[in-house]
Structure 1
Amino acid sequence: MPLAGVSATGPDVLRLVALPVFAWVAVRDVKTRRVSSAVWIPLAILGTVLLAWDGWAAWNAGAYAWTYGFLVPATVSLGVVVPLAYCFWWFGGFGGADAKALFVLALLFPTVPRYAVGSVTLPAVTTPLGAFSFTVLTNAVLVGVAIPLALAVRNAAAGRFTPVMFVGWPVPWERVPTAHGKLLSAPDGRSRGGLDLDALRMYLRWRGLTLAAVRQHPDRFRDPATLPDEPNPPTDGAVTADVSGDGGTTLERTARETDGSETDREYDDPWGAEAFLADIDGTAYGTTPDELRDGLEALAAEERVWISPGMPFLVPVFVGLVIALLYGDLLVVTLL
């Protein structure tokens, strides 16, 4: 079937629909960290139809085409890639959207597609197994491994040499409310993995606070007595959710609110971290009270903080798909 100078089978042409869809979900995942499950349903249906189409064509082409051209790679695609995606999701290595994307790829690309562009046939390098979805997965993993190296180069070019230069970069505190990833800065000045920024937004919305208010009156809001009588819905931490409320119960205060004389006062539950986590449904992305407190202390004092961007895996998946279609299997080339 011709397509703007490209010669390919009908199923392989239809498989190219995945490219703009995966590009869109990758961009959306970077901006919002939210991808609707409805996106995958049409692609899963298309993949099922194309799988049956390819199987029927291979069956009619003879025993060799059926066995080695279709059955073996399709078995690897559905019997290896899908369980791997499920296991990574189960153990927290993947998000739900990542696992669904790999399931869709296993349906859409069980075998290697072929595109003749003039005298050139794409992809140029394929895996011996012939399972194209496995090629996309391994490509995505290799692209994901390259991301920390890119971060390190970026930080080194700016003269930022720290133990976390491979996993994050510094940003002004004003960018934190709309950023994604994890806060790496701690109140003792050391950098380490800690507060999930979605969990931070959940906490601020639960209290009806902005980060600017926390920075303006940290002594006040560190006191759990200022927790709201009727907390607001915490949402799921998405950047698009509305913040409502006045930041908690208004208490009669003395000069300690403005002169900082209570900075070192100890509370049973500083910042109301335990109260927040006990009140909400779920676990706020696994955040602990200490992680929440450390994050708030750092954000209340620092002008710039280190964050890990937490690049969504859908970005390497899209890049891995493009590389697989244009070039082929990076792992095969790496191992040779």
Structure 2
Amino acid sequence: MVSPIDASIPDVLRLLVVPVFGWAAWRDVKTRRIPNRTWYPLAALAVVLLAVEGWQAWTGTAYETRWFALRAAISLGFVAPLVVAFWWFRAFGGADAKAFLVVAVLFPTFPTYEVAGWVLPYQQTAVGVFSLTILTNTVLFGALYPVAVLTRNAVAGRFSSVMFVGKPVSWDAIPTEHGRLLETPEGTTRSGVDLDAVRMYLRWRGLTLAELRERADHFRDPATLPAAPNPPGDGAVSVEELRADGGQSATREATPKSDASEADPWGAAAFLDDIDHGAYGTTPEGLRDGLDVLVRDDEVWVSPGIPFVVPLFVGTVVALTYGDLLFGALDLLGLTGLA
């Protein structure tokens, strides 16, 4: 019986990234949370396969030593540091960076699959570093996101200076929405408060957004902060809401209301000082501005951000079948010398 896929054992094992990345993409869309343990088996597999193929290249049994070493060096010495740099400058999230680091170790060279007489990936590159192909494919698919958002807003007649990165959201959808607020009391912004930080603040106080809106002037006063706040969590949506005393406290040390309100509206600084970890780069000023907008407006602009594992999953599948999209386009234009 002829196997439907003819490939080396290492290349067959590399296909495990497809279901794992698919599950991670689904999880990223639904929760914006991907457990660290997701990457451990793939990372272990990547190291083992790199060692096996490195040995084969060294002994000359499967790879030409110089080319394998060069491609592995580019994947580990260029692609991996580039991904870390993207993460450092917040172009990638932590899960995105971990996934790309796995790719850099798992795919230093192009895999080869023969399926029904077709040799895949179809579009090869001159460099031959497959992790670089996955990275460029991912970036290209990710670049389509703002175009899609802009088009959707334009068709719906929703016009704003942030219409290419955001969407209008009703205030009552905010508790289950992921992303970043694109408004301050003064107008639009690209660096508004993270909605996960807002959820952390509300859970810390034991309040819902509806309760905060209903008595905004009351809860703006930090004298109403609870004496024993709830654990804030990490802002994830799928967490049971913690209810305390509605923000009331008879035991917190009293401060004259006008002085306290002016010193720390909403108790934003007290919240950030009290939690034992960061709140996604949130500052007291940013949190106050976000809360002021959320209690004032019935609809706000929110940037859902790009769940980058989604284009990574699509880019990987396309890379394993078609190959390198950028190189294919350049080849089509006759700019690669391979046409």
Structure-2-length-normalised TM-score? 0.88
Q: Tell me what 2:254 maps to.
A: none
Q: Tell me what 1:55 maps to.
A: 54
Q: Tell me what 2:316 maps to.
A: 321
Find 2:157's aligned residue among 156, 159, 165. Answer: 159
For residues 196-215 of structure 1, what are the structure 2 equivalents within 5 Å? 196-215=194-213
CA deviations on 1:95-140 (whole Å, 9 max, x unpaired) are 2222211111112111101111223221111222111011111111
Q: How much has 1:330 moved relative to structure 2?
A: 1.8
Letter in 2 for 1:160: R
For residues 217-232 of structure 1, what are the structure 2 equivalents within 5 Å? 217-232=215-230
Q: Tell me what 1:286 maps to.
A: 281
For residues 102-121 of structure 1, what are the structure 2 equivalents within 5 Å? 102-121=100-119
Q: Tell me what 2:181 maps to.
A: 183
1:67 aligns with 2:66: yes
Q: Is the 8 A contact 2:162 2:188 kept in 1?
A: no
Q: How much has 1:178 moved relative to structure 2?
A: 1.2
CA distance in 2 between partners of 1:63 and 1:35 (Å): 36
Q: Is the 8 A contact 1:72 1:129 kept in 2?
A: no
Unaligned runs of 5+ in 2: 251-256
Q: How much has 1:290 moved relative to structure 2?
A: 1.8
Where 1:104 maps in the other structure, the secondary structure is helix
CA distance in 2 between partners of 1:307 and 1:191 (Å): 10
Q: Is the 8 A contact 1:30 1:311 kept in 2?
A: no
Q: How much has 1:21 moved relative to structure 2?
A: 0.2
Q: How much has 1:78 moved relative to structure 2?
A: 1.3
CA RMSD, aligned part only?
Answer: 2.2
Q: Tell me what 2:23 maps to.
A: 24
CA distance in 2 between partners of 1:211 and 1:249 (Å): 16
Task: Pick closer, same or farther for the CA change 1:53–1:64 going to 2, 3 Å.
Answer: closer
Q: Tell me what 2:232 maps to.
A: 234
Q: Tell me what 1:38 maps to.
A: 37
CA distance in 2 between partners of 1:13 and 1:214 (Å): 54
Q: Tell me what 1:257 maps to.
A: none
Where 1:228 maps in the other structure, the secondary structure is coil
Letter in 1 for 2:18: L
Task: Pick closer, same or farther for the CA change 1:194–1:148 going to 2, 3 Å.
Answer: same
Count of paired positions: 322
Task: Pick closer, same or farther for the CA change 1:2–1:80 going to 2, 3 Å.
Answer: farther
Where 1:209 maps in the other structure, the secondary structure is coil
Letter in 2 for 1:154: R
Where 1:116 maps in the other structure, the secondary structure is strand
Q: Tell me what 1:298 maps to.
A: 293
Give % identity: 58
Q: Tell me what 1:133 maps to.
A: 131
Q: Is the 8 A contact 2:56 2:62 kept in 1?
A: no
CA distance in 1 between partners of 2:131 and 2:142 (Å): 16
Deviates further, 31-40 or 193-202: 31-40
Letter in 2 for 1:107: V
Q: How much has 1:334 moved relative to structure 2?
A: 4.0
Task: Pick closer, same or farther for the CA change 1:178–1:2 going to 2, 3 Å.
Answer: farther
CA deviations on 1:165-211 (whole Å, 9 max, x unpaired) are 11011111121111111011333454543010111011111111111
Letter in 2 for 1:311: I
CA distance in 1 between partners of 2:277 and 2:166 (Å): 27
Where 1:159 maps in the other structure, the secondary structure is coil
Task: Pick closer, same or farther for the CA change 1:59–1:180 going to 2, 3 Å.
Answer: same
1:7 aligns with 2:6: yes
Letter in 1 for 2:248: T
1:172 aligns with 2:170: yes
Deviates further, 14-23 or 183-192: 183-192
Q: Is the 8 A contact 2:56 2:63 kept in 1?
A: no
Letter in 1 for 2:82: L
Letter in 2 for 1:10: I
